[in-house]
Amino acid sequence: MSPSTPDSGWLVEQARLSLKRLTPHLARLFASVASSDLTADEATFFTRLEAHIEPIFAALYELYGDQYDFFYHLEAILTAAAEAYITRAADLKQLDISREAQPDWFQSEVMVGGVAYVDLFAGDLGGVRASLPYFQELGLTYLHLMPLFKTPAKNNDGGYAVSSFREVNPNLGTMRELADLTRVFRANGMSLVLDFVFNHTSDDHDWAKRALTGDAEYQAYYLMYDDRVLPDQYEPRLREIFPDQAPGSFTYRHDINKWVWTTFYRFQWDLNYSNPAVFCAMLREMLFLANQGVEVLRLDAVPFIWKQIGTTCENLPQAHTIIKAYNALVQVAAPALTFKSEAIVHPRDVRSYITPDECPVSYNPIMMVSLWDALATRDVRFMTHTLSKQFPLPPNTAWINYIRSHDDIGWGFADEDAAEIGINGFDHRYFLNMFYTGRFPGSFATGLPFNFNPKTQDMRIAGTAASLAGLEQAQKKDDAQLREFAIRRIIMLYTIVFSAGGIPLIYLGDELGTVNDYGYRVNPDKAADNRWVHRPYTDATHMGNRHDLTTIEGRIFQTLRERIFIRKRTPTLRDGETTFFHTGSWHVFGFTRHRKIMVLANFYEYAQTVDLKPLVSAELYAPVSVLIDLLTGDDYKPDAALTLESYQIVWLERRG
């Protein structure tokens, strides 16, 4: 429980006084290292600490100021930051300086991301390194590798039940190989992104093992209860994340006779962030990864990190305070490290984490859901309405715009947004679930229902982008027209995220039109989780077909690659300024970038015509003599009608 909010002037005074008292101790840490290079480094460290001590102190005092040993923990936390900085490699310190000079680096039009599992895409870290030419061919500048840390052989939640943040899964490589990979990537203009499992560890983690021996210090790293009194007070308001596989939020451990808080799976123990020792321990893990050259950490499951009786224990103010404290400490010890949030919650809550002093970048589930919604309904009005409200972000932040990821699709639109245009949220989710599992008449999708909840009738959807867009069904029917529609859908969706404000992210395999892989069903370690249907191994034959335009792989890969490079030479597509508008057609989606480029996309199987004159007048502002489609080079008169073929998209740049 945090102390009452003190006067801001008192906080500033105490922050400065604390820094003055702790400076001699921190200076001795630098003096203990025999290196002539550290003289300038020490000055840099203290300059940064001086700049950030006030938000650091204020956040930590809010969280832990009521604890008798607060100043002991403050010293431990600042010591952890100093020690990480002292051991940080010289080239990474240069990257820090570069990023401080260009804090909006991630908003550049050259930023294009990919995401993949190490083993599924390339076998191991050596295979990832060998794949650099492929990444460069596609145009990637940002690669997100799915969880690669040491985990138990079983009960690992696909890598999200971490046994050690300082060890790579031996099947994938070593931490030294990871650090070498980041150096190779930096030399080639690529940033490495990793998941930082923020809310919990595996029950196989060293901290958990010590807790299981009865060590009270490490039992306090987690949330443990001798009986059901407190769990029964919490549980009624908690959301079940995996009601089928792991009902409830508490697990009884007979080996220690305690109930352990387990939001996700029973082998994933929630960390106790009300304990400042946990905050410090996780800071050390975070900075260790930064010192391996990781440039972006995706903070997994951030809404759940603070617990309070009488609440849902999601998105509480203290969760934001914790991230702000970590962000400020990173600005001191490793400013090149950027936080990316991941929060599959209400759109309002998703956006609440996205600020320069919390997570400057974030996954954009709102756009992802809206795109699949419009693809099913062929009606873009809900998407336009939702994105007009939910897309804008604060300056110096960015969305990660994506079509698919390793996870399921949950229909996380805001019910109030739906109601504003006459849509019932519950009914609409039911329709989308039926459509994307192929149960709605006329559906082109082949998806699987994930985690049906009989209490709420909710479910989520598993499946690759290609299968959800109709390619799997078209191949089964051997129908050329359906195949053509599916290919056009995939290309259109990705062309939208290439042009919308933010960093576009490709779930690797989508660029080849990869369909569902049902082989997981014969693997006992995967069979119970049908999300593995959209986590296939890379097919060398399919990848080899990418240069053959007569193949599905070649058409999709070469088209996406061309459009990525068009993006990268179009400065107007940088940062997040995007304005969505109604085009006059229910089927045609429209937005502008900086009022200079107008994007129009037809979400219908049939050609649609829009009148450019009112759109140019209302949305581009400046006088326009001609519109050039950057994707094809075709020119259009600004006062004419434009006909878009099925699933066609144009990037119309105004010319005066």
Per annotation, catalytic residue among 119, 285, 300, 358: 300
Per-residue pLDDT, averaged over 372-382, amounts to 98
How does residue 346 score in pLDDT terms, banded at 50, 70 and 90?
confident
Q: Where are the beta strands (DSSP E) in 169-231?
A: 191-197, 200-202, 224-225
Average pLDDT of 259-272?
97
300 flagged as catalytic: yes
SS (H, E, C) 595-637: CCEEEEEECCCCCEEEEHHHHHHHHCCCCCCEEEECCCCCEEC
> Where residue 3 falls among pLDDT bands split at 50, 70, 90?
low
User: In the chain, what are the domains?
Assistant: 577-655 (2.60.40.1180)
pLDDT at 36 over 60: no
CA pair distance 34, 30, nearest whole angstrom: 8
Name the token pair of 202: 């595996």
Q: Which of 35-49, 219-233, 249-263, 593-607 has the lowest mean pLDDT?
A: 35-49
Amino acid 458: pLDDT? 84
Return mean pLDDT, the chain.
95
Is the per-residue pLDDT at 577 higher than 60? yes
Q: What is the mean pLDDT of residues 413-434?
A: 96
pLDDT in tens, 378-398: 999 999 999 999 999 999 999
User: Computed over its alpha carbons, how large is the radius of gyration of the chain?
Assistant: 25
Residue 35: per-residue pLDDT? 64
Q: Cβ-count burial of 457 within 10 angstroms (0-12 exposed, 13-18 middle, 19+ buried)?
A: exposed
Question: In 10 A of CB 143, how many CB atoms?
Answer: 23
pLDDT at 274: 98
pLDDT digit string, tens, across residues 226-260:
999 999 999 999 988 887 777 899 999 999 999 99
Give the pLDDT confidence score for residue 68 in this predicted structure.
Answer: 95
Active site residue 91: no
Instruction: Name the active-site residue from 42, 195, 203, 342.
Output: 342
157-166 per-position pLDDT tens digit: 889 999 999 9
Residue 6 has pLDDT above 90, yes or no: no
What is the C-alpha separation between 582 and 590, in angstroms, rounded? 6
Average pLDDT over residues 579-599: 97
pLDDT, position 369: 97
Q: How far is CA 424 from the centre of its chain?
A: 28
Buried b / exposed e across 38-61, counting CB within 10 Å, b at 16+?
Answer: beebbebbbebbeebbbbbbbbbb
| Predicted pLDDT at 1 | 45
User: CB count, 10 Å around CB of 469?
Assistant: 31
pLDDT tens readout for residues 543-558: 999 999 999 999 999 9
* pLDDT above 70 coverage of the chain, percent: 98
pLDDT at 2 over 60: no
Give the list of residues 6+ apart from residue 504 with CB closer than 8 angstroms, or none.
112, 113, 401, 402, 494, 497, 498, 564, 567
Q: Which residues pair with 192 in a beta bridge?
A: 143
% of the chain exceeding 90 in pLDDT: 90
